[in-house]
Structure 1
Amino acid sequence: MESRPSKVGQDRDRISALPDDLLLGILERLSLHEAVRAGAVSTRWRHLPHQLSRVDLDVDDFQGRAPLESMDAFAGAVCRLLDCKCDCNSRRSVKTLGLRFHLSAPNLSSIGRAVEDTVSRGQTECLEFDVIPPTSDSDLTAVGRTELGQQFMSFSHACPIAFRWLTDLWLTSLDLGDADLPSLMGACDKLQHLSLTSCRFGWHSALEIDVPNSAIQSLEFVRCSCMRIELVSLPKLTHLMCESWNSENAPLRLSYVPQLRSVILCSHAGVGQAPFALSECLTTDVTSLSQLHLNFSCQMIWIKPEHPKLLTPIFRNLKDLWLWHIFPECDLNWTLFILEAAPALQMFILSRARHSCVKTSEFSAEKANVVWEPSKDLKHLNLRLLVMIGFEEEDKATNYIRFVMERAVGLRGIMLCGSKTCEACDAIDLESPTRYEADKACRRRIKERLTHGSSSSVKIINCDRDGNELVISNLIDEVLKGHSCWWSDSV
């Protein structure tokens, strides 16, 4: 890129004397707002914001206006920054373009044209749309959600080139028809990540997604409303998250997802929720699963134990298992049916949480103990690390850990971590100043009970109650890599 020499008598500072490519390198390390301000204070820098290879614009940066006025200003900024008619812009390539905006019919056509002019040059590697409602979710009516959904689909039909180049899409608070989402996914040739939050697809209908030519790798549903999500064919999907569903039965069913590696299911159970079997969701077509996260939000356990033989075809490649926020009164033996069904499992993290600040809602399902008797001949060869977060000094916890120590013959380490700090709980716990020492003594007693009379060589580490998450993560990496230098009595 040719440099623009400084004119005599102006812009004589050394930085402005640098060539354009170096100045652009400086600007691209700033936020877009700062880069534009830098360009506005100097004639030498003025043309540079139009040559940035990354452009990120957020409608929230145009605050202090009504939603329509904010979108007018946002659309104007998009058109100016993406203007390809500028003399200095002839060789410009926008490699990353991210836009976060409201659905405002008067502005969508100008935004679409500017984006299509940019991506048509063929050098855009990442195009991101984050579509948010003009008002808070609670202020939206059913009619408003439907209108927003219709506006968005009209926008996608009117700008097919832009959507063909789209790589990342976030949608919030839209009502979409049964065929809208599969149609959209089929039209977005390059779409890799799709996230839907508070979107509705019909309370009494299943959302069926059958897009065998889709490039989608990551799919997220958060507080979405439909009877069930059925992924019939998504051949490149590797990550799936489903959070806070309203289905009374299994919230999803997976069919042809041959590359699926990670599944996250997170929800508290509502009054009508019935426990379901994992085999109802993760069919035998799911064979590459290596990570599974289940978060119960300290409420009813919404999965029911089933015979490990039914799950082994699905879990045979499972390496990492996270069971989050099990309510502390619940028995723990039921978790062993997953351990038995996953012969390749290496890391097992189990989290228990007791929050005195949380009041059970009248709409929550009743908590009930889960009963399961593990096989008498259970023997696991590959489990290397067991992490228990939020343990308490009780027979239930220590007996469970000793059982795993005895049956997991390849186990290298057990990590006992305190509960993550909750400011609300601390505020109402009058004994919180002494709780740290009590927790520390408790963990030492548990360690003594676990090692007493045992010939196991498993190392046990006690982490502080407020153990740093990065430290814990590093310790997990160390033990899974087989290093021995990390062992100490406490962290």
Structure 2
Amino acid sequence: MVDRVSALPDDILVSLVSRLPLKEAVATSVLSRRWQNVGLSTMTLRFDAVDFSIYNNLFPYFRQPKEFKEQESWKYIDWVNRVVQQHRGKHIEEFRISFCLDSRFSSSINEWIQFAMENSVERLELDFYPEVFAGYEDYTFPHKLLGLCIPILGSCGYNIGFKSLKVLQIRHVGVTGEVLEYFLSNCPVLERLSVTSTKDLVNLRVVGWSIALKYLVIENCYILESIEIRDVNIVSFTYCGFNSRNLLISNVPLLSEVTVSKRCCPKDYIRVVLTQLSCCLSNIEILKLHIQLGAGHNENPVLPLLANLKHLELLVAANYYKALHHLNSFLKASPYLQRLSLTLQLYSERACMGIGEIEKAADCPHNHLKVVEIVGYRAHKSGVELVMHLIKNGLGLEKIVIDPVRTGRYPHGADKPHTELDEEVKARDHAKQYLEPKIPSTVEFVCL
């Protein structure tokens, strides 16, 4: 018997081990002396809440009482500390912390970030989701680790640097515009930045051709007042929030994918968004507008030409009387559209005006539409009418996908209520019984 795997060079073994779940990767260090440093040199360190819960028989973590959760948070801290202290590698491809942590654990989190910096981390993810009404502040990213000299913070600390950082994702982390702009200016290969639910971000400037950033995601930053994106080669931008009137975009020649999701919008909000994107509308190939009813349209919307648009996603009030008219406005504005995804919502007459029977709309023939996806489909005739309208007008339609699942409605660890699951079952039965028989044989029908 010849152990040919153990005879491989260290760098190959470390690469193989780095593709294992963290627990299994570390466990290989007990196989033999040859493997001791290999297992502890894994380049992928993912400390996920789900893994921690399963390994410690705590799943589901979020159903536990408050006192128990606090104890387990400290156990999680100890778990990460032990792995970090034993780590023997000199380079980390991915370092991910995902757990219910807050400002009480700042000292340990700071040490983990410093450890990642010292090991030339390429992908850093800090995914914290503190308990609601727990009474503790979110963890705040420390300026001193970056060597930032901001007068209100006093003297500078030290700066190890993130020269290898390619991806930065932070959630429920206190971070200012100055910190984010530091990353953009001082991380020469940082291409992806995602910031979600931060309490300190007021203004953000992404400006300058020297910035390497290609993908930017800003979500649920509640006090954010303005975003300026100018003179950069960004290719994808996602914004989800409450206030984007001060969204300034100019001279972004490569921007081809845009997602905007907003609640409580004025009636002409889609016009506002498209005006803000006017400098790059001709380049956009993927456009996702997740905007609730009341925000989307005037009575007779006139949209600018989206000459290069191939993929469009819309949030649609399926039982809004102008739904078909508004859908036509996008079909007319997007002559080369190939894929259309509609996320359907149903409203009561008490909740919104204009809810009820859908008005018939004139034909709007479209030559390039090939795939239609209906997300959140429910057992309601309005969904059937929307699909039939698209079948009639999609002259080259090849495929229709029906997906009754509504994503993003429940927090971490929460199970769907039985009523939601029952609605999904009814929706599937309704689609197969009332919709599938109406689909032409030339169009593929898929019900997920």
Shift of 1:302: 1.9
CA-atom RMSD in angstroms: 4.4
Distance 2:389 2:88 in 1: 63
- 2:369 is matched with which residue? 383
Shift of 1:176: 3.5
1:15 corresponds to 2:15:
no
The 5-angstrom pairing of residues 47-446 of structure 1 reads 47-52=37-42, 54-58=43-47, 60=49, 67=73, 70-71=76-77, 74-82=80-88, 94=91, 96-100=93-97, 104=105, 106-107=107-108, 110-111=111-112, 114-119=115-120, 127-133=122-128, 135-136=130-131, 138-139=133-134, 141=136, 144-145=137-138, 148-149=139-140, 151-157=141-147, 158=157, 160-201=159-200, 206-233=203-230, 235-243=232-240, 245-247=241-243, 250=245, 252-267=247-262, 269-270=263-264, 273-276=266-269, 277=271, 278-296=273-291, 299-304=292-297, 311-312=304-305, 315-330=306-321, 331-354=323-346, 366=352, 368=354, 380-388=366-374, 390=377, 394=381, 398=385, 401-402=388-389, 405-406=392-393, 410-413=395-398, 415=400, 417=402, 419-420=404-405, 424-425=418-419, 439-443=431-435, 446=438
Aligned length: 403
TM-score under structure 2 length normalisation:
0.72
Q: Amino acid of the residue matched to residue 405 of structure 1?
A: K
Is the CA contact (8 Å cut-off) linking 1:393 and 1:446 kept in structure 2? no
Kindly provide the CA deviation profile for residues 301-345 of structure 1, in whole angstroms up to 9, marking residues without a partner as x.
422259887622xx2111111224534345221122222222221
Rate the CA distance shift 1:19–1:176 in 2: closer, same or farther, 3 A.
closer
Rate the CA distance shift 1:68–1:317 in 2: closer, same or farther, 3 A.
same
Kindly provide the CA deviation profile for residues 225-279 of structure 1, in whole angstroms up to 9, marking residues without a partner as x.
1354423226232222223x122x6474432322122222234x33x75541132
SS of residue paired to 1:165 = coil
Is the CA contact (8 Å cut-off) linking 1:384 and 1:411 kept in structure 2? yes
Rate the CA distance shift 1:226–1:282 in 2: closer, same or farther, 3 A.
farther
SS of residue paired to 1:162 = coil
Identity %: 15
Is the CA contact (8 Å cut-off) linking 2:257 and 2:287 kept in structure 1? yes
Match of 1:459 among 397, 421, 442: 442
Rate the CA distance shift 1:366–1:29 in 2: closer, same or farther, 3 A.
same
Shift of 1:198: 0.8
SS of residue paired to 1:139 = coil
Shift of 1:283: 2.2
Rate the CA distance shift 1:388–1:177 in 2: closer, same or farther, 3 A.
closer
Distance 2:18 2:219 in 1: 33
Gaps of 5+ in 2: 57-70, 148-156, 407-415
Kindly provide the CA deviation profile for residues 40-69 of structure 1, in whole angstroms up to 9, marking residues without a partner as x.
2423322322454x2314275678856567
- 1:37 is matched with which residue? 27
- 2:65 is matched with which residue? none
Is the CA contact (8 Å cut-off) linking 1:385 and 1:411 kept in structure 2? no
Distance 1:399 1:173 in 2: 38
Distance 1:301 1:182 in 2: 35
Is the CA contact (8 Å cut-off) linking 1:198 and 1:222 kept in structure 2? yes
Distance 1:105 1:388 in 2: 44
Rate the CA distance shift 1:15–1:288 in 2: closer, same or farther, 3 A.
same
Q: Amino acid of the residue matched to residue 288 of structure 1?
A: N
Rate the CA distance shift 1:398–1:75 in 2: closer, same or farther, 3 A.
closer
Shift of 1:350: 2.4
Is the CA contact (8 Å cut-off) linking 1:386 and 1:415 kept in structure 2? yes
